[in-house]
Amino acid sequence: MAKSNEPIWWFLFSAGGVVAALLVPIHILLIGIAWPLGVLPADALEFSRMQALLAHPLTRLYCFVLISLPLFHWAHRFRFTLADLGLHGAAMLIAVLCYGAAIAGTIVAALTLWG
């Protein structure tokens, strides 16, 4: 990876770190734990309600940010984690695979939300 690319990845890592820190725990808690355990009203995630919520342009933008930036956060951190674990030899390949996965996820998210 050329040195001149680093600030972009670092910025995306950093922005993704903030988004993940502030938003991911509440999403996991509500959708992944509280609702399946029956703590929330049964109709909290009901189809037509969620569709109406997602119909709003700001919700779509919110979902895009919530998906894309943490993927870049993961890519940047995981890339260096693998190097720390001893995979120095494949550094370039790892960087391409990690950032590539984040870019692919971002494209899928954009197509899902606006396609």
Partner 1 sequence: MKPDVRTIPANWWLRRSPPWWLRRRPYFLFMVREFTSVFVGAYVVIFLMMIRRLNEGQAAYEAFLASLQSPLAIVFHMVALAFAVFHTVTWFHLTPKAMAVRIGEERVKPALIIAPNYAAWAVISAIVAWFLLG
* Binding footprint of partner 1 on the chain (CB under 8 A): 17-18, 20-33, 35-37, 40-41, 44-45, 47, 50-51, 53-54, 63, 66-67, 70-71, 73-75, 77-78, 80-81, 84-86, 105, 108-109, 112-113
- Shortest distance, position 87 Cβ to partner 1, whole Å: 12
Dihedral sign for Cα atoms in the order 89, 95, 100, 106? positive
Residue 2 Cβ, how far from partner 1 at the closest point, in Å?
A: 23
* Distance in Å, CB of 75 to partner 1, minimum: 8
Q: How many helices (H) and strands (E) does the chain have?
A: 4, 0
Closer to partner 1 by Cβ: residue 8 or 29: 29
Cβ proximity to partner 1: between 9 and 74 the closer is 74
CB 60 within 8 A of CB 14: no
In the complex, what is the shortest distance from the CB of residue 18 to partner 1, in angstroms, rounded to a whole number? 7
Dihedral angle computed from the Cα positions of residues 107, 15, 86 and 5, in that order, rounded to the nearest 10 degrees: 70
State the residue for tokens 């950032």: 99
Question: 2 is written with which tokens?
Answer: 């050329």
